[in-house]
Each structure stands twice: as C-alpha cells, then as structure tokens.
Chain A
C-alpha cells in the first residue's frame, strides 16, 4: 500500500493542532503510523514499540531490540532506535524518546495516545521529559484513522470481497445430510479465505460457526472462542458464520447465515428482518449525518417491523487496522459521517427459538452515498445448503 498520502495526512494534522510531535504506543496506532503489522504487540505488555512523528520526513520508532530488524524488513523507513531488555524496559524506552524530542521547541506539547499508554508508562515518560507537556492525541488519531485514504479504501474493499468469497466458498461444501461439525466449518472458513489470499490471522482472527442451540449465544463453548466444537450441524438448523480476516494488517469483519435446508418461516422472517434493518442503516448512512443517526434509523425500523433486534451491539462500526474501531454506530456516538469512512454495518436479530442471526456488510461512504463492498453473491436470502452431494 502506498503510504505517502497517509503520512502527509498525519503530518498536516499535526501542524494544524500545533503539536510538537505525536507519540503513540498502542499497537493499532503503531501499525497505522508505521505500516508494519506485528500481531503479537498487544500481549507484550511493557515491551511496546513507541512511534514518534514530527513531520513526514522525521519519524522514529523506539522498539524492543528483538523487533528492530523486523520493523525495517517490513518496510518502515523511519529511524529505528532499539532499546535493550532489562528489569525496566519501559524506562529504557522513555529515555530514548526523551532524546528524540529534546530538540523540539520549548513549550511544544507532545500528543500522546492516552487511551493506550499505561499509567506506568506515562509516569516513566513524564520522569524522562520534565517540563514537557503531554496532551491527549486520542481524538486526533481517531479522526485520522476513521477517514481512510484511497489506498486504504482499496485494500479494505478488496479484503472484504476476498472474505465474502471465502465465506461463500466454505458454505459451498456444506450439505444438509453431510453432518459436518462446527469445528470443521470454522477451519473451512479460514482455509477458504486464505485460499483467496488473506494472511494468517492470529489471535482475534476469529472464525465462528454456531448452529442450532449454539447459535443462541454469542460465544458458544467458551473459552474456545471461535474455533468450533464437535457439534454437527443438523438439518433444519440456522447457522451463524462469522469471519475476521486480515491482509497487510487491515481487517475484514463478516457474518453470514446458512440454513441447513430451506429456511423455516421463523428463519425466513428473521433473515428478512436482518435485511430490512441493513437497508435502514444504508439509507441513513450519508455524509453529514451522525453515527448515532444510523443507530436511531435502525432502531426505528426494528420497532416498525417488530424485529427482535439486539440493539446492545449497536448498528455497526468502523474497520481498518483493527476489525472494530471508530466511528461507532451506537446511541452515543455523535461523530459526523464523512466521505472516506469504511464501516461495517453489524446487525443481529434473535429468532423466536433464541438463535442469533448476524449480518455484516462492509460499506464505504463516498460523497455520493454508501458503496457496498463487492460480495461473491447476492445475499438477499440466506445460503441454503444442498441436501446432499
């Protein structure tokens, strides 16, 4: 992905906010600013890379020494300052940051992603940077990340299409009388996405298949989150299939419905509600509208339909370097929607028997309106499994 536009956008925002520099430690923000995906970062606790950006030309990453060469090999062209292992690596990192920002004009504040830095990390930073004002850059980062560049949009739309193709491909292997297990299907989801070219997606690269009674809950067979179990999908069941796939550090978030045979009236009605609510969300998705307006539109339509909509999940969210990010199509988020946002309309309804159907559509908000990512097939109806092969 060409990152020049993104880098330019970041440095322009920095100057507009009169920040001396931007300093981030959150793995998602680190990836956003470096373009390098290191999936293990969230579990490294005190051993995080810290990225400092002054301008398009002046960028540095203070990184655990073991990760230094990975950063460069993966395409980071800024400076790399490795810090060694030891009893207090966060203090070492803070010391290097202090050296980096020492040349900033006196009084120029340092914008920091306060939502990610731990209190302990911040204390070390403050000790290493006496007199330097640290201010929250969370809003700045959220604003930057939620409006994508053309290159990001192209990647996200391509990935969404690959993922939809993968989900459909996995469904093609299901027959009503075949009796495949949920575990098998979870893996088939992954494999078919990988075959389309997505990356190995560790950690929260979720694949979920929940059928019949397992579909009545969000996390069947916990703590085996999204890896499925031995339960076989049975004739007549509705099957919820969810897939989070990743490519070059960006994410797709998908959910589709499979029925094991022709949908029964409850399944058909529930699925129709899901589609109606999706249409309501799309109708409300306009530049200048607020994120909460989309939620309100879905809420109103659900009431009209008498749909058992699970409103607690909201109506959707942004997607980018994480599968779940701002803006949030919820009751509280008053973010004005802008062209360039890529969103996942994420809706769930409950059937009379308790099963949860979930549908997720990736949509880009263009100036002229919402543009759905290409799908492998028309999903106006659930995928109906063949009787047998």
Chain B
C-alpha cells in the first residue's frame, strides 16, 4: 500500500519555480520521506529532522543517527545526513547536517520552498545560518495544500487506522462487559486495553488516550483516575496511526442500561452530527459544516459545544487542514480526509462526543471508520461467566 504521493507532489513542485523543498515541520518531513519518525513532536528541541526534495525527485534527510535505520526500514531510499548527540544542540546540528549534504550536491543556492514559519523559530534561524547563500521561500500553505488532498494509498492507510481504533474500543469494551458488578475495574485498564487491541489489529501507533467518567467527562481531558462506576457515562478517545497516517476516534458508553436522559443526550449528539454530515460536501466551505451543526443544535435546543469546531482533517498528523471551524472559507476538496467531531453536552454536564472519519468524494463523503457504527449509546451490561 504505497502512499503514491510523489507524482502529484513533483508535478506541483515543478510549477513553483523552486529548485526543491526544505521541510522542518515533523509531519512534512514524514510526508517527504514517506516514513514515520519516532515521536518527533515530543522530542523537540532535542531531536529535529529536516527533509529535502529536489525537482529531480532526489531526497535527503537530516536526522538523529539512530533514526536512520527506522526510515530505511520503511522503504526510504534517499540520502541520509545523520547527526548524533555529540554534534551540539539539536537545531544547529540538524541544520549543519542538512547544509553539508546540500553543499555536497552543489545545492546551496536554492530557491527552496520551506515550511519554516510553522517550525520553531530557532530551527528556522539555524537553517538560515547554515545556508547563508540559499534563497529560502517560506510557504507553509503550499505544503498544507499538498497534504490536504490525499492519494488513494494515503486514504487506505487512514482507513486502516480508523478501523484499528474501532478495534481498540471494541476490545476494551468486550473486556469490560460482565465485570462491572464484580471487580473494581480501573479507567487506566480500560484505556490500556484500547491501546492493546488497536495494536493487535494493525495499528502502528497509538497516540492520544483518554478515559473520562462522570463529572470528569465535562472536560476535554483529565488523567484517567478511579474505577468504573454503575450509572455513569464514560467517554473513550484515542488517536491511532497506521504506517505514519493518523486518525482520531471517540465513543460513549453507559455503565449499565442508560437512563432515559443519557440516551436522549446521545441521540441529540447524533442529530447534530447528522446535520454536519449533510453539509460535508466537496466544494462546500469548511465553515458551512460548522454552521450547519450549530444551526441544527439551535433549532433543537441542544447544548452544542462548538468551541472546538466540528472536525478537521487527518493524515500525517492527527489534526490538520481542513479545519471545520466557524468563519472558515476554505473550500473542501475531493480527496480530503476529515474527522467529523461533534461535541454536545448532556444535561448532567458530560461532554457527548462521537467521531467518524470520512474521505470526501464528488458524490458525497465516504465513511472510512466503517467497522463499528456508534449511532447508539453503547450500554455495558452482562454478567461474568467463566469460559
């Protein structure tokens, strides 16, 4: 399942007049390498990576030496300029490694399109200092536009990630069912089981993990604490990656049969989500999807939590363009992968959240997270039977 990004990318690059691309944003580096890096955003400023792609298709990576094997094992066949921990602070070390490698090819004049305005300012300064004669043209929007429209290979990876996330939830839920009257079952264990089951079913990475119960569920995030309690609403969230492509997922549980107001609150969320989905069309403005959800909630008197928007794109990162936020005029293109993330609030205060991942196609959004519909509040019931 190759990502197949290079033909369209090189075609777009050929129309810019630039000699090549130079990326410092971790997801853009991964994109140009077609290889995931080990936790690059969580190890900054110590372990930055830079990627170069020339108009001729030649690639070059500057990265920590122990990552070199990680990218070649994923099929990266370009050159590598590795630096180690003794080469100095991370940003200058990466910049020097890249500059020396470019100089070795006679490629220090540019012009190079860069994404450095979205990278740490200190990294940009280090790159500029290391490439004094090179014309650097900041154009993060160009990179974002390339990543916005996915190839079929990229969508396949996102689809696998989405259904691995569902497997994670299902596995955790199956272990929880039948236990609630017997043992104190910790929220931590539920969360860990989400990770394990996602990994057992294809996931390459699990990022975010959240398990929120009762009053804690009124918030976007709190650490998982305590044990599962009867009568509660529980929200599970995770982000899952497959071969370097990510998506996010969430589902809601009631511990025991849901109270009528809990079931109603969940259906209210689905009502708003349906309105957003109806507006999720190629050619629509991103802000219109938000507006459709907000209007549906207003008409039905539903407590809509629109402060996070109603979704966003996914791909090399777990949250990227297009952003389905108020006021956005961005037009939704065919080929975008979008997580619809509609959040409402139950009368008892908990956030109600469900997410699904879609690929935008000319004839309507195609559901990528198809494995398990979460259109009803999932009730954790049953009894334990040894078998």
A114, B121: Cβ atoms under 8 Å?
yes
Which residue of chain B is the closest to A200 with respect to CB atoms? Answer: B191
* B320 cross-chain contacts in A, Cβ below 8 A: 45
Verify B205–A330 contact, CB threshold 8 A.
no
Sample 7 A-B pairs with CB under 8 A, ordered by A number: A40-B208, A87-B330, A115-B120, A123-B117, A199-B223, A200-B223, A219-B67
Interface residues of A in 180-202 (CB under 8 A from B): 183, 187, 190-191, 194, 199-200, 202
Q: How many residues in B have their beta carbons less than 8 Å from beta carbons of A? A: 80
A324: CB under 8 A from chain B? yes
Known contacts A114-B121, A322-B42: A225-B69 contact under CB 8 Å: no
In the complex, B291 has a CB within 8 A of chain A: no
In the complex the two chains form, is A223's CB within 8 Å of B70's CB?
yes
A115 near B73: Cβ-Cβ < 8 Å: no
B356 to chain A, nearest CB (A): 19
**Chain B 307-322 interface residues, beta-carbon cutoff 8 Å to A:** 307-309, 317-320
CB of A271, distance to nearest CB on chain B (Å):
21
* Residues on A with beta carbons closer than 8 Å to the beta carbon of B222: 70, 73-74
Q: Is the CB of B204 within 8 A of A223?
A: yes
Contact check, A224 vs B204: say whether CB atoms are below 8 A apart. Answer: yes
CA distance A191 to B193 in the complex (A): 10
Evaluate contact between A312 and B86: CB separation under 8 angstroms. yes
CB <8 Å contact, A119 and B121: yes
**A30 within 8 A of partner (CB):** no
A138 to B191 CA separation, bound complex (whole angstroms): 35
> Which residue of B45, B138, B191 has the most chain A CB atoms within 10 A of its CB atom?
B45
Chain A nearest CB, measured from B44 CB (Å):
7
Is A119 within 8 A of B44, CB to CB?
no
The listed residue (A64, A87, A123) touching B327 by CB distance below 8 A is A87
CA of A248 to CA of B224 in the docked complex: distance in angstroms? 11
Within 8 A of A (CB), among B86-122: 86-89, 91, 116-122
State which of B39, B191, B307 has its C-beta within 8 Å of the C-beta of A84. Answer: B307
Among A42, A199, A218, A312, the residue within 8 A (CB) of B41 is A42
Bound together, the chains give a CA A20 to CA B207 distance in angstroms of: 37
The smallest beta-carbon distance between B165 and chain A, in angstroms, is 13
- Provide the A202-241 mask, 1 if CB < 8 A to any CB of B, else 0: 1110100000000001110111111100000000000000
- Are the CB atoms of A199 and B224 closer together than 8 Å? yes
* Cβ of B148 under 8 Å from chain A: no
Is A39 among interface residues, defined by CB-CB distance under 8 A? yes
Q: With an 8 A cutoff between CB atoms, is A85 at the interface?
A: yes
Distance in angstroms between the alpha carbons of A39 and B318 in the assembled complex: 13
- Please, how many angstroms separate the alpha-carbon atoms of A85 and B84 in the complex? 40
Contact B328 A87 (CB under 8 A): yes
Judged by a CB distance under 8 angstroms, whether A140 is at the interface is: no
How many residues of A sit at the interface, in one of the four size bands? Answer: 35 or more
Chain B CB within 8 A of A67 CB: yes
- Residues in A neighbouring B118, C-beta threshold 8 A: 45-46, 118-120
Contacts of A119 in B (CB 8 A): 116-121, 124, 138
State which of B11-19, B213-221, B260-268, B367-375 sits at the interface with chain A: B213-221
Q: Which of A43, A44, A248, A314 has the most CB of B within 10 A?
A: A43
For chain A, residues 317 to 358, give those with C-beta under 8 angstroms from any C-beta of chain B. Answer: 322, 324-325, 328, 330-332
Find A204's partner among B43, B67, B73, B122 (CB 8 Å cutoff): B43
Across the A-B interface, the 8 shortest Cβ-Cβ residue pairs: A312-B84, A65-B307, A223-B36, A204-B39, A331-B86, A66-B308, A314-B85, A219-B70
Q: Are A187 and B119 in contact (CB under 8 A)?
A: no
A334 to chain B, nearest CB (A): 11
Question: Which of A40, A119, A218 has the most CB atoms of chain B within a 10 A radius of its CB?
Answer: A119
A200-B209 CB under 8 A given contacts A66-B308, A85-B309, A311-B86: yes
Alpha-carbon distance between A361 and B205 when the two chains are bound, in angstroms: 27
Is A313 positioned at the interface, with any CB of B under 8 Å from its CB?
yes
User: Chain A nearest CB: distance from B192 CB in Å?
Assistant: 6
Q: Are B70 and A225 in contact (CB under 8 A)?
A: yes
CA distance A119 to B41 in the complex (A): 16
- Say how far A35's CB is from chain B's closest CB, in angstroms: 12
Given A85-B323, A218-B69, list of 11 further CB < 8 A pairs?
A: A85-B306, A115-B91, A190-B192, A191-B192, A194-B192, A219-B69, A222-B69, A222-B73, A225-B39, A227-B206, A322-B42
Interface class of chain A by DSSP: loop
- For window 201-249 of B, CB contacts with A under 8 Å fall at 203-209, 211, 216, 218-224, 239, 241, 243-244
Known: A115-B91, A123-B117. A70 touches B199 (CB 8 A): no
Residue contact A328 to B188, C-beta cutoff 8 Å: no
Which residues of A are found within 8 Å of B135, using beta-carbon distances?
A: none
Which residue of B is nearest A134, CB measured?
Answer: B121
Q: Is the CB of A332 within 8 A of B122?
A: no
CA distance A118 to B138 in the complex (A): 13
Whether B117 contacts A115 by the Cβ 8 Å rule is no
B45–A115 touching, CB < 8 Å: yes
**Contact across chains for B122 and A115 when beta carbons are under 8 A apart:** yes
Is A203's CB under 8 angstroms from B207's CB?
A: yes
Q: Which residues of B contact A116 (CB under 8 A)?
A: 44-45, 120
Residues of B within 8 A of A218 (CB): 66-67, 69-70
Q: Does A130 contact B (CB under 8 A)?
A: no
List chain B residues, Cβ under 8 A from A26: 44
Collect the chain A residues with CB atoms within 8 Å of residue B239's CB.
40, 43
Which chain B residue has the least Cβ–Cβ distance from A216? B69
Q: A313 to chain B: which residues have CB within 8 Å?
A: 66, 84-85
State which residues 65-113 of A face B: CB under 8 Å.
65-67, 69-70, 73-74, 82, 84-87
Knowing A40-B221, A43-B319, say if A225 contacts B121 (CB, 8 Å): no
List, in ascending order, chain B residues with CB within 8 A of A120's CB: 117-118, 140
Assembled-state Cα–Cα distance A204/B199 (Å): 15
Specify the chain B residue showing the minimal Cβ separation from A197: B188
Contact present for B188 and A194 (CB under 8 Å): yes
CA distance A203 to B40 in the complex (A): 10
Considering the complex, give the chain A residue whose CB is closest to the CB of B238.
A202
CB distance from B5 to the nearest CB of A (A): 16
- Tell me whether B35 is interfacial, beta carbon within 8 Å: yes
Question: What distance in Å separates the Cβ of B65 from its nearest Cβ neighbour in chain A?
Answer: 5
Taken together as a complex, chains A and B put the C-alpha atoms of A325 and B42 apart, in Å, by 11
Whether A200 touches B224, Cβ cut-off 8 Å, given contacts A115-B122, A191-B192, A219-B70, is: yes
Q: Which A residues touch B329, using CB under 8 A?
A: 87
A122 at interface, CB cutoff 8 A: yes
For the complex, is B74 an interface residue (Cβ under 8 Å from A)? yes
Interface residue? A117 (CB, 8 A): yes
